[in-house]
Amino acid sequence: MRFFPALFLFCLFALQPAWGENISLKIGKHSIHAEIANTPQSRKQGLMQRGRLCANCGMLFIFEKADRYSFWMKNTPLPLSIAFIAADGSILNIEEMQPNTTDTHHAQSDALYALEMNSGWFTRNGIKRGITVQGLMQAPTGQ
């Protein structure tokens, strides 16, 4: 049997999950690698069914317009923290979310973004309301 490297590479990459675009963000001195959820489908899927998230990784939800969005943890086995972020990049509020629950967590004011990280990440890193998330200007728009 003859080996075809190009076909092998195509099959290898075709089998990889497509998690979408990524963005590098910074909050204070902390760098974050975030997956982007900026379409209705990617926002609906979020981190559902994920078994783990690396230490400084998260998911950035980008909306079409600023509003008081709500999140829940249905079908999400990871405990997460969420920061609701205003259009200017300032953190509005941070909530702790328990896995596989339907409790809702709300933005306290109009948010254009939400950033999910591992549970306790914001607290462990001294990130509080009012701190600015840098790098959002490079983010695609919400659809």
pLDDT of 46 higher than 60:
yes
- How far are the Cα atoms of 11, 14, 115 from residue 3, in angstroms, in the given order? 13, 18, 44
SS3 6: helix
What is the rounded average pLDDT for all residues in the chain? 89
Residue 72 has pLDDT above 70, yes or no: yes
Q: 20-138 has which fold?
A: Jelly Rolls (2.60.120)
- What pLDDT score was predicted for residue 106? 97
| Mean pLDDT within 93-101 | 98
Whole-number pLDDT of residue 17: 38
**pLDDT bracket for residue 7 (50, 70, 90):** very low
Bridge-based pairing of strands 30-37 and 22-27 is antiparallel
Of the ranges 1-15, 20-34, 76-90, which one carries the lowest mean pLDDT score?
1-15
Q: Is the dihedral of CA 125, 132, 20, 106 positive or negative?
A: positive
Q: What are phi and psi of 11, to 5 degrees?
A: -65, -40
Exposure on the CB side of residue 134, measured as CA atoms within 13 A: 6
Mean pLDDT of 22-28: 97
4: pLDDT strictly greater than 70:
no
DSSP element (H, E) containing 41: helix 40-45
